[in-house]
């Protein structure tokens, strides 16, 4: 009778744990470093890839361990060069990641997801209409980075330069795994990606923003603001009812004082809702307590939702109002909207 061995995820072991396991299997401990390099520096997805290990060791590892990995399920390419990939997880759930290339600036950004679905129900967002199924493991976030980095190298002959945690889900509701994934991606023994080129975006959870400060994170922080007064923000973002603007600004001030990391406001412009000069004045008032960059984003209309894109001249007037008062402003034109890859459009559509 064949005895079934429950295989463990090898990436859940620290290098020290791996060394101890290997010696218990009669293998030299130094192999742990080699295996770790395959896992975290080369992004290996199978033991067979680990060619500097003996065939016998690879077979032992395959007997006792697995390397669960995400698989590309569907790839869509936009006319503007943006690439959206839908990934199938080991349990069959689906998530999406987006590669946003700007070759002229040598800037290649991946937008990664942190949850399957989302629980925040923002009224303008396709992902917010989905049910939250579960949080992603740090390795599943790491795997998105590895896969899209390979995609960038193959397509543009250039590695990723930036990472934004702005895909499906709310990163701060998956706090530990989000921070662990940043550690994995930025580990000097692995990809050694600079945390200064990583931005984590949040819809606004004040106590968790303060926790980021207390944990002395080194990455940048973006607040998905989208309205500069509580009444309007409550209308489109239910999370604001428990995390009002006063609490959020206090938490962001605390974050900046303790980390000196860059903060940005993401502000989608909706026609006749938040795009007036009065709205711009309210937004300016929120930019006085700490250095902040404002990214004004074109809205991408979503079937079944009532919001419309603000006119370009109104967006430009809005941006000019802020810029004339010394606020750093960038207007982000939509990328990948023809493949539902733009801001707020990730919804695992067929």
Q: How many whole angstroms separate alpha carbon 107 and alpha carbon 338?
A: 21
User: Over the chain (350 residues), what is each successive 10-residue block's mean pLDDT?
Assistant: 66 93 93 95 94 95 93 92 94 94 94 92 78 91 97 97 95 97 95 97 97 98 97 95 97 98 96 96 96 93 84 96 97 69 52
> Does the annotation count 111 as an active-site position?
no
The pLDDT of residue 4 = 44
pTM higher than 0.95? no
Which of 27, 96, 140, 170 is catalytic? The answer is 96
Q: Angle at the Cα of 266 (from 319 to 348), degrees rounded to 5?
A: 130
The pLDDT of residue 3 = 41
C-alpha separations of 127 from 90, 130, 261, 282, 302 in Å: 21, 5, 28, 28, 11
The pLDDT of residue 132 = 81
DSSP alpha helix (H) spans, 1-137: 15-24, 31-40, 55-64
Domains of the chain and any CATH numbers: 8-66 (1.10.150.530), 71-339 (3.20.20.70)
> Does the annotation count 125 as an active-site position?
no
């Amino acid at each position: 009778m064949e005895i079934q061995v429950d295989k463990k995820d090898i990436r859940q072991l620290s290098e020290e744990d791996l060394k101890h396991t290997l010696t218990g299997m009669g293998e030299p401990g130094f192999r742990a470093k080699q295996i770790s390099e395959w896992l975290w520096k080369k992004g290996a997805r199978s033991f067979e890839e680990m060619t500097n290990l003996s065939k016998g060791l690879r077979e032992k590892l395959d007997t006792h361990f697995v390397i669960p990995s995400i698989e590309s399920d569907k790839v869509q390419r936009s006319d503007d060069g943006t690439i959206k990939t839908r990934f199938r997880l080991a349990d069959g759930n689906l998530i999406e990641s987006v590669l946003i290339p700007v070759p002229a600036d040598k800037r290649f950004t991946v937008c990664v997801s942190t949850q399957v679905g989302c629980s925040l129900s923002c009224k303008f967002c396709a992902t917010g209409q989905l049910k939250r199924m579960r949080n992603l493991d740090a390795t599943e976030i790491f795997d998105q980075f590895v896969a899209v980095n390979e995609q960038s190298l193959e397509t543009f002959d250039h590695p990723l330069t930036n990472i934004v945690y702005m895909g499906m889900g709310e990163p701060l509701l998956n706090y530990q795994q989000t921070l662990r994934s940043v550690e994995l991606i930025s580990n000097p023994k692995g990809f050694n990606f600079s945390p200064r080129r990583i931005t984590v975006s949040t819809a606004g959870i004040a106590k968790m923003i303060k926790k980021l400060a207390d944990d002395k994170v080194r990455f940048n922080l973006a607040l998905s603001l989208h309205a500069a007064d509580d009444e309007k923000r409550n209308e489109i973002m239910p999370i604001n009812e428990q995390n009002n603007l006063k609490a959020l600004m206090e938490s962001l001030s605390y974050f900046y004082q303790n980390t000196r990391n860059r903060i940005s406001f993401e502000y989608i412009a909706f026609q006749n809702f938040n795009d007036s000069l009065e709205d711009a004045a309210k937004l300016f008032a929120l930019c006085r307590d700490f250095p902040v960059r404002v990214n004004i984003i074109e809205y991408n209309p979503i079937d079944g939702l009532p919001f419309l894109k603000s006119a370009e001249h109104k967006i430009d007037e809005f941006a000019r109002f802020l810029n004339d008062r010394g606020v750093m402003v960038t207007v982000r034109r939509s990328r990948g909207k023809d493949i539902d890859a733009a801001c707020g459009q990730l919804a695992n559509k067929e």
